[in-house]
Structure 1
Amino acid sequence: MSTRWYPLYQRGAPQLRVFLPNFWMKLIRPTEEQPTNVVQFSVSMEMTKHDIKNYLEKIYDVKSVDIRTRIALGNMKKDLKGYITKEDDIKYAYVTLPRGEHFEFPDLFPSSVEEQRKDEEKSLEEAKKSYNTFVDRNKDRRNTPGWFGI
């Protein structure tokens, strides 16, 4: 279903029109641990279970066994002036894949432990050097605060 209005007739031939749906889906990393064949999506509020199933099958060729949806209510906040505002509600869809298929959330920023350890050691050495230069520069001024420099 589209809310975009198109004219019934346009001058010229051929009648070139593109009908775009208002539906969207966003893959979300689950906060709670789930089975490997369950995938969590954030979907538009207008989508039904049938729409979600058709969307996945027609566009991405992903078969689904079961689809469950829930609506998470947005938080309510009170301003300093006394106004109450509410964030938008979010609709979540939990799609169960067929038996034998599993989905692992991709690791977008892989880093090995050794590289991380080397970076930490390098930053520690730089901090030690800068501290030693600070101490050497201020060893003649014992009673002055550290922020007071020339």
Structure 2
Amino acid sequence: MSTRWYPLYQRGNPQLRVFLPNFWMKLVKPHLKQLPNIVHFQCSMEMTKHDIKNYLEKIYNVPVADVRTKITMGKFRRDVGKGYIIKDDDIKYAYVTLPKDMKFEYPKLFVDQKEAEDEDAKSLDEAKKTFKGYLERNKDRSDVPSWFSI
């Protein structure tokens, strides 16, 4: 449920209403190896198991078989400058089990080192070709500054 206030009535038509929940969920890669149909989320502390299930089913159309939640206590640490003891916020994790026939794979966000080097080499070759073409076009105009080109 949202704690935001919306006007009940607006003059004119259409009467537009938008529901913006205060809930949020973040996909997290677990530290330990898990089954392929289990997905790990970090979620809002106010969310219950039913809220998590409805959130995934209604918004993202993901069928959910089971939801388990865990609250981990935030770390205690000492402030460097003043020496205060500070406690980080507690975190709620949700382990969502998908049906047996579904398999979840985490998205690949970063390219491999070889692929990155290949892309860099291609862009460098393209820049060299462009620069050679520029030099060929302007080889007879040595007195004109480089920023002034045709």
What is the TM-score when the length of structure 2 is the normalising length? 0.69
> 2: CA distance between counterparts of 1:36 and 1:5?
41
Aligned to 2:6: 6
| Runs of 4+ residues deviating >4 angstroms | 112-116
Per-residue CA deviations over 1:15-74 (Å, capped at 9, x if unaligned) read: 322121111111111111111111001111111111111111111111111110001111
Kindly state the Cα deviation for residue 96 of structure 1 after the two structures are TM-superposed: 0.8
Aligned to 1:97: 98
> 2: CA distance between counterparts of 1:64 and 1:76?
35
Partner of 1:95: helix, strand, or coil? strand
Aligned to 1:38: 38
> 2: CA distance between counterparts of 1:68 and 1:36?
16
Kindly state the Cα deviation for residue 10 of structure 1 after the two structures are TM-superposed: 3.0
Aligned to 2:86: 85
Q: State yes or no: 1:50 paired with 2:55.
A: no
Tell me the percent identity. Answer: 67
Correspondence 1:1-150 to 2 at 5 A: 1-79=1-79, 80-111=81-112, 113=114
> 1: CA distance between counterparts of 2:44 and 2:69?
11
Per-residue CA deviations over 1:64-116 (Å, capped at 9, x if unaligned) read: 11110001111112224232221111110001111121111122112155866
Gaps of 5+ in 2: 121-150
Q: CA RMSD in A?
A: 2.2
